[in-house]
């Protein structure tokens, strides 16, 4: 179970890293163009520690550790925003990986979005990363099977 979950997290991080240029170009069109750089730096830092994290017996603590590493590595104003997202989400997760249900994952994601909005003051429609995160939350509410698939993948792994 833990191996499959760790592999999913690694896959997401590797996808972020491999898309550094695209992320930077998209951010440059509307912002300061450092999204890809910060995300890649943070992704590499989390990958460097991921094998030392105990997802099976300390999921919430492991996500908190990833949050600290991710937000410190990201820097700028995005670092604290992502830190608030992941730390609030981690607080909603059960300690044991296997105890988390699709409802737990959904609640964690939604709390993360809420924390980021509180930290940065942005609301949906303000043309910030909140728009994408909020749309993701709405899509998952409309189709919660996505979380069910994640939960089942984790349980069967």
CB–CB of 86/70 below 8 Å?
A: yes
Tell me the CB-side half-sphere exposure of residue 152, using CA atoms within 13 A. 6
Q: If pLDDT is split at 50, 70 and 90, which confidence band does 157 have?
A: very low
What distance in Å separates the CA atoms of residue 21 and residue 121, rounded to the nearest whole number?
28
Instruction: Calculate the alpha carbon distances from 127 to 34, 46, 54, 80 in Å.
Output: 17, 28, 36, 18
- Mean pLDDT, rounded, of the chain: 89
What distance in Å separates the CA atoms of residue 145 and residue 143, rounded to the nearest whole number?
5
Q: What is the pLDDT of residues 89-122, one digit of tens each?
A: 999 999 999 999 988 999 999 999 999 999 999 9
Give me the pLDDT at residue 73, please. Answer: 94
**What is this structure's pTM?**
0.84
Compute the 3-state secondary structure of the chain and give helix, strand, coil in percent, each to the nearest 5.
80, 0, 20
Q: What is the pLDDT of residues 120-144, one digit of tens each?
A: 999 999 888 898 899 988 888 787 6
């Amino acid at each position: 179970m833990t191996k499959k979950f760790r592999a999913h997290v690694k896959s997401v991080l590797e996808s972020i890293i491999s898309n550094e240029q695209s992320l930077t170009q998209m951010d440059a069109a509307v912002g300061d163009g450092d999204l890809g750089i910060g995300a890649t730096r943070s992704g590499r830092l989390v990958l460097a520690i991921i094998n030392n994290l105990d997802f099976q017996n300390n999921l919430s603590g492991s996500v908190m550790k990833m949050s600290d590493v991710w937000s410190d590595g990201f820097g700028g104003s995005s670092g604290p925003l992502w830190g608030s997202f992941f730390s609030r989400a981690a607080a909603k997760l059960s300690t044991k990986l296997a105890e988390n249900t699709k409802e737990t994952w959904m609640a964690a994601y939604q709390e993360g979005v809420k924390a980021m909005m509180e930290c940065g003051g942005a609301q949906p429609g303000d043309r910030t990363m909140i728009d994408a995160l909020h749309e993701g939350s709405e899509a998952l509410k409309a189709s919660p099977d996505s979380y069910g698939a994640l939960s089942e993948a984790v349980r069967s792994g």
